Amino acid sequence: MPFDREKMKHAAAKLAAEGVFIGTSSWKYEGWLNQLYTPSRYEYRGKVAKTRFERDCLREYAEGNALETIDEITLGAES
């Protein structure tokens, strides 16, 4: 089942309006693949390489793509 970013954005905004905020304590979480992280960046021989993900995911996080997604959810609630 593909991740529906727009649906999540609206659900998070609705929760935020009620004072419930969603966050994560880890940027190095494989569960964020396809949601915040791009799996193809970490592929090796057709599969996501865990060592490559652990080594390089902070770079993608710092590039802002993941942060923009988080900001979309957070700022969308304030709009």
Q: Give domain status of residue 6, yes or no.
A: no
The span from the CA of 63 to the CA of 6, in Å, is: 21
Q: Does residue 8 lie in a domain region?
A: no
Asked if the structure places residue 49 within a domain, the reply is yes
Q: How many folded domains does the chain comprise? A: 1
Residue 39's domain spans which residues?
26-78
CB atoms within 10 A of CB 18: 8
Torsions phi, psi for 17 (to 5 deg): -65, -25
Q: What is the pTM of this model?
A: 0.52
pLDDT tens-digit profile, the chain (79 residues): 677 878 888 888 888 888 887 765 577 888 888 888 899 999 999 999 999 999 999 888 877 655 555 555 555 545 4
- Three-state DSSP state, 72: helix
Does any domain span residue 14? no
